[in-house]
Amino acid sequence: MKSLFTIACLATSVLAAPAPPKGTFEWTPTLAGYMDVVFSYIQAAKAGAPSPTCDLSKAAMPVAPTPLPTPAGLTLDHVALGRGVQNYTCANATATPAAVGAVARFYNVSCVASDWPDLLPIMPNLALQYPLPAAPDAPLEPSNLVLSTHHFFSNSTTPVFAFDAPTSPDLGRVFAQKANSSEAPTNSVIGPNGQGNGAVAWLYLTSRATTVGDIKAVYRLNTAGGNPPATCQGQDSAFSVDYSAVYWFYS
């Protein structure tokens, strides 16, 4: 039987070492691994490690299995953890599910990317194990992450990233298009509780002319879950699959 315990979460809204506030969550191996890394940073801080600075120039994107184009000449403005669903439709029982976009909330992990990079690839795996908070503007637990972006599609080929929450950075509204992709790593989390059909691809997106603001490129990396079954057998005409990922925004 899995046990419950009170855990610590990152104080990502302040420039301080990770520290544990309150929250009760079911134990999972992913949560245990996350906490191991959190407490390693706490111990380093106690030992006098340099204070975090939230300097995004220090943040480094992971390299995709099939390398994606680099953001040469661009500036990293924001890093966000996305948690939501990938949407699919089925024409009939023998068809292949067709992707029709996604809906997700994004949470600010810019300081994690710059100061605690070992935590970043764990966070989508952890986020996938827990539902989104019931209150739309509430922080994402168990990491206490602040809402930064709403993600949806304006049509089947146009992802939108709207920085329209009270806690959003001033980055406007990005209308994007897929420019390149890579299969997710073979060891990616396939779905919640280890059940699913695999992690969606890593993506390189470029902004469309309708974008409001200066963002030029968006990367979807460290994906967890989101892939549909191979066929529509037993599926509804429209269905959703839980996913999480880390998004990098460049201007």
Question: DSSP states of 202-223 as a string?
Answer: EEEEEE-TT-BSS--EEEEEEE
- Map out the domains of the chain as residue ranges: 54-63+74-250
* 3-state secondary structure (DSSP) of residue 162: strand
The pLDDT of residue 142 is 75
CA dihedral over 2, 4, 8, 12, signed as positive or negative = positive
Closest CA to 57 of 113, 12, 17, 16: 113
Backbone angles phi, psi at 210, to 5 degrees: -80, -5
- Region 159-167: what's the mean pLDDT? 97
Say whether pLDDT at 1 is over 80. no
Say whether pLDDT at 3 is over 80. no
Residue 50 to residues 44, 71, 115, 197, Cα–Cα distance (Å):
9, 28, 10, 42
Local confidence band at 12 (pLDDT 50, 70, 90 cut-offs): very low
Say whether pLDDT at 6 is over 80. no
Higher-pLDDT residue of 52, 61: 61
- Region 46-73: what's the mean pLDDT? 86
How do residues 18-35 score in pLDDT, each as one tens digit?
434 345 556 567 666 666
Higher-pLDDT residue of 118, 175: 175
Residue 117 to residues 28, 50, 54, Cα–Cα distance (Å):
21, 15, 11
How do residues 81-116 score in pLDDT, each as one tens digit?
999 999 999 999 999 999 999 999 999 999 999 999
The pLDDT of residue 144 is 83
> Tokens standing for 192?
């919640």
Backbone angles phi, psi at 60, to 5 degrees: -130, 125
Closest CA to 76 of 222, 219, 245: 219
Amino acid (one-letter) located at 216: K
Local confidence band at 143 (pLDDT 50, 70, 90 cut-offs): confident
Mean pLDDT across the chain: 86
The pLDDT of residue 158 is 97
